[in-house]
Structure formats: C-alpha cells, structure tokens
Structure 1
Amino acid sequence: MYKIILNPFAGKGKAFKCVRSIEKYFEKFNMLYEMVLTDCGRQAIDFAHEAVIQGVENIIAAGGDGTINEVVNGIMKSGYPENVNLGVIPIGGGNDFAKNLDLPHKLRDIIQIIKEHHVQLVDIGQIEDYYFINTLGVGFDAQVAISYTKNKWLNGFPGYMYAVMKALIRKDSYYVTVTINGETFTKDALFVTVGNGICCGGRFHLTPDAKIDDEEFDFCIIDKLSRRKIFK
C-alpha cells in the first residue's frame, strides 16, 4: 500500500496537472495506493503522521522540497519508524533533494523505481523538534526561501532569483556562534547553510561536496558582504 501525499500548489500549480498521470502509472503498474491532496501549509505533516499511525509503510511525497520536508517531519515525529519508506515524486519548483538521488525526469520512470523498491538510507538533521533532509538555512538563505514560497507567479530558478533580489534590499547580517567538530567561533554572517544535500534554490550549489548518506553535514558560511560583492 502506497500513501501519496501530493501538494497541488507545488511548482506554482504544476503538481496539480500531474495528478491524473500519477494515478495512471500507479494503476498501470498494479500498485495499490491512496492519494490525498493538501490544501494548506503543514498539512502534509499531519497526513504523513496519520499514515504512520495507520501502519502504512510506503509514504510518497509528491511536490517540491517543501512538501518533502513536511512529509519527513510527519514521519519522524511519529517515533522514528524504521519500517517506513519515503518515496519522492519531484514535481515542484527547485526539486533540490531529488538531485541527490539522480532520479530520471519522466514520471513513468520515477514510479517504476518506486515499484521496484529501490531503497537508500539517508541522513536526517534535527534542530529541537524540527527535521530537515536537504539543507537548513539561517539568515539571507532563509529569507530567500520564505520570499520564494510567498511568490505566486514565478517558478523555478527565475523565482529564486526574484527572491534573492528582494532579500538583497534588506541585506541583514547576523552574529552567529557556530560549533563544528568541537571548534566554536562567532562571525557576522550574511547567512549560514547546513547541507545534507548538494544544493538549494534550484541551482545554488552551496555545499557541493555534501552526501546525503555519509553521516556528516557540510557548512557554507558567508561573511557580511556589500551588495557589489554579492553581485560579483
């Protein structure tokens, strides 16, 4: 049994257009499934949590990175269930986490991989009661992510670039204290990114050497910069 949690608003509505195709391929491959569509933020967390409680072992996140993140949080907040598999159908804007998995581009091929039960163990980060599977941003990086989410008309890389320009108007910096491998230091930073995956924002490879299964996180810390240096 597969529980598909689909965010129809992902990719500025692109995901909704994929609903029938996803259903068609699951039916073609004789895969028993139930699909639920979210209609507000954070609802995917509740859907994933409910699925775990109901004993569903294969939960599919269909949408963008935000949808995947919510499904991961719903699963992890259900008591670290080792028998639950997370599947990904990347139909959002940036689809950054999917880039780590080297998934094919066609829906049919992605669902074929899910059917064949290709399982890969990946690392998950935690801050208090929040979990992340790809990257975690603090500062400018986070401002861009928030602005992109609120933007209703630009999708993918152009949308991220628009969000970058909006964040540059503020250009706040933050005094951060970071401890890595026992070494602590304080910096006036534009942003800090903790990377489990290689990129964020569609094309920004802030932690290009990161691996999702090496039990380590990579850090990208950018000092406070002038606007001129940022554009360079």
Structure 2
Amino acid sequence: MRIAAIVNPVSGWGTARKQWPALLQSAGPSASAVETFWSEYAGHSEVLAASARRSGYDRVVAVGGDGTLFEVLNGLWWEQRGEMPSVGMVPIGTGCDYIRNFEVGGGIMDRFRAAVSPPAIRVSLGRFSIQNAGKVRQRVFAMVLGLGFDAEVVRLFRSGRFGRTGWHAYALSTLGAFSRLNSHNLSGSINGSSFHTSVLSFGTALGCWFGKRIEIAPPASPIRNEFELVWTEPVGFSKVILLVFLAYFGAHYRLPWVKNAHASSVFLDSSPPAWIEADGELIGKTPVEIEIMPEALSFAANGVKKKP
C-alpha cells in the first residue's frame, strides 16, 4: 500500500513539525511505506492531496488537526483524475475532534498505526454550496457545518486572542462570543419541507464532538446516512452558559430550548446573514445548501465508537 502523509507543520502551534519525524523514527517498519509531504501555506494541503490522488497513492493521511483533514478531503474529492484513495488521520493539532468518533487506540503511536494499516470503514460526507464573491462555491466536510454562535466562536478562536491551543482557549473563545450574542431568523427547508425558526446557532453534524471535546451532537455518527441537526433557540446569557457546560457532557439535549432533527438535505438563509464554519474553518455567510453523501469515503479505523 502506497501511503502519502500530508503534514501541516504549524498544527498544534508547531507541534507537528517536531513530532512527526520522531513518530516515523519510532514506528519502525510500519513507516516504510509512508512518503511525507509538508504543507507550506494555507490551502497547500489541498493541493498536495489532489496531487496524491493523481499520483495513484492508495491512502492519504492527514497529519494535523481537523482543519488539515478538511483541506485533504477537499483536495481529494474535487480532483477527478485517479482513483479515490482511502484516508487516515494522525491527530496532531489544535482541534482533533473527528478522530474521537473512531476506534483507533488511545496513544499517538496507536493512532499512527491505525492510519497506515489496511482496515478502513465507509463514512459519509457532507457537501455544501455557498455564494462567494458572486460565484457558487462547493466544498465537502466530514464533521460539522455550523452557523451563528458556533461560527463566531471559531472566528474568535482562529484569531488567537485567547491562545491557539487547548480546550481552555476554545472555552475562552466561547465566552468571548457571548458579547456578540445575536439571534438569526432562519428560513429554508429540511428534506424539502419548509423550515422557519429563530436561532442562536444551528449545526449540521456527522460527528459527535466539536470544539475540543464538546459533545455537540450525541446521536451523530460518520456511518449514518443522514445528518444530525441541532439548534438553539434564542435565550439569555445564563441559559447559554448552562448549555455550553452541559454540552461538554452531551447532556444539553434535555434543555427545552435545544432542538434536534435528522435530515439528508438542508437549505438555510438567515436574517441577518450568519457566518458559517465547516469542520472548524470559516467559509462564508448564508445562504447555504447542504446534502449528505452516504458512504462517500473509506476512513482508516477499526470501527466507530459505540455510544453508551
């Protein structure tokens, strides 16, 4: 099996640059099939992934956080030449939530071995379309697409105002977003049926976790053929604090102002326009059209974690 590892050296505030060579050296024979490609600028991982597909690699491993995986997936998906390889992930980054959905071991060496070993499972992806500078832009995502409060948290986190690593930086970014707490009037459709509501945030999830261990959508799973939708109705500051606290334990669904549904297609517009994030990356503003792509990709893992 030919394996291309695409490494984002700035992931984890530079951790990947130091840790990846040491990891390869420690891995012994299991690293012999791995060729390393270093990304050099934002978006370069996408270019490298497209090249890896054209070059006939059997597996492409994203080494970094969820943002690195997002770039790798899009590089592979939109490249039409060559067979689609399977994808693995070695989580060395600021946010590594997607990998939490899978049985890949607990330590970094276990996760390396899972990423370069043959076992893989079929997972679903989401595809979305937005207007960007007057042009339609399409992308795919693996974990979650969120708008409103979620995207504002991501915007603050990416700014580095509260630090760039760790759950504490994400928690502080969440608190910082409270000062910009705005509701959005959504209109659109879910599975073709009309949908209208007011929200603080709206998430379309294929993974359970987001934002450094926040269990944002407990029923969601990468192997399901539909999204888990979860949204928060407009409430005051104290109730949002309670929501964030409970979400770290996946217990926020019990709150009456948190709603959920399942869908394979979603169209949303909002007033005022809302920022959108996909897998922790800011991508634009509403309107947005989202659809599921069942069993779109093979992901290196022994299985999906079972929820208790």
Question: Normalising by structure 1, what TM-score?
Answer: 0.92
- The residue that corresponds to 2:296 in the other structure is none
More displaced, 112-121 or 149-158? 149-158
**1:147 aligned residue:** 156
**Corresponding residue pairs, total:** 232
- Deviates most, 11-20 or 138-147: 11-20
Q: Distance in 2 between matches of 1:88 and 1:2?
A: 12
Q: Is the 8 A contact 2:202 2:231 kept in 1?
A: yes
Counterpart for residue 209 of structure 1: 219
| Distance of 1:63 and 1:115 partners within structure 2 | 15
Q: Does structure 1 conserve the Cα–Cα contact (< 8 Å) formed by 2:7 and 2:64?
A: yes
User: Equivalents in 2 of 1:29, 1:110: separation in Å?
Assistant: 12
1:33-182 aligned within 5 A: 33-79=34-80, 83-128=84-129, 129-151=138-160, 153-182=163-192
| 2:53–2:83 CA contact under 8 A, matched in 1 | no
Q: 1:102 and 1:80, CA in 2 relative to 1: closer, same or farther beyond 3 A?
A: farther
Q: Residue 120 of structure 2 aligns to a residue in which SS?
A: coil
8 Å CA contact retained: 1:192, 1:221: yes
User: What is the Cα-based RMSD across aligned positions, in Å?
Assistant: 1.9
Instruction: Name the amino acid aligned to 1:140.
Output: F
Equivalents in 2 of 1:76, 1:213: separation in Å?
Answer: 18
CA distance in 2, matches of 1:131, 1:225: 31
Q: Which residue of 2 aligns with 1:22?
A: 23
Q: Select the structure that is richer in strand.
A: 2
**1:99 & 1:164 partners in 2: Cα distance?**
21
List alignment gaps of at least 5 residues for structure 2. Answer: 130-137, 243-308
* Counterparts of 1:204 and 1:178, CA distance in 2: 27
Q: Residue type matched to 1:148 in 2?
A: F
Shift of 1:198: 0.3
Residue-by-residue CA offset, 1:84-108 (whole Å, 9 max, x unaligned): 1101101112311000113223232
1:155-184, Cα deviation, whole Å (9 max, x unpaired):
121111111122111112222124223332
Offset of residue 30 of structure 1: 5.0
Q: Equivalent residue of 1:120, what SS? A: strand
Q: Runs ≥4 in structure 1, deviation > 6 angstroms?
A: none
Asked which structure has the greater RCO (Cα within 8 Å, sep 6+), the reply is: 2
The separation in 2 between residues aligned to 1:37 and 1:124, in whole angstroms, is 25
Give the counterpart letter for 1:195 in structure 2. Answer: A
1:113, distance to aligned residue in structure 2 (A):
2.1
Residue in structure 1 matched with residue 210 of structure 2 by the alignment: 200
Q: 1:223 to 1:30 in 2, by over 3 A?
A: closer
Relative distance call for 1:80 and 1:92 in structure 2 (3 A) is farther
Q: Counterparts of 1:125 and 1:83 in 2: how far apart (Å)?
A: 17
Equivalent position of 1:222 in the other structure: 232
User: Alpha-carbon deviation of 1:62?
Assistant: 0.5
Q: 1:87 to 1:217 in 2, by over 3 A?
A: same
The residue matched to 1:179 in structure 2 has which SS? strand
Partner secondary structure for residue 103 of structure 1:
coil
Counterpart code for 1:218 = E
Report % sequence identity: 25
Q: 1:46 to 1:115 in 2, by over 3 A?
A: closer
Cα separation, partners in 2 of 1:94 and 1:115, compared to 1, 3 Å = closer
Do 2:11 and 2:92's aligned partners in 1 also have CA atoms closer than 8 Å? yes
State the alpha-carbon separation in 1 of the partners of residues 240 and 226 from structure 2.
28
Cα distance change of structure 1 residues 30 and 44 upon mapping to structure 2, 3 Å threshold: closer
Per-residue deviation, 1:2 = 1.2
How high is the TM-score relative to the length of structure 2?
0.70
SS of the residue 2:90 aligns to: strand
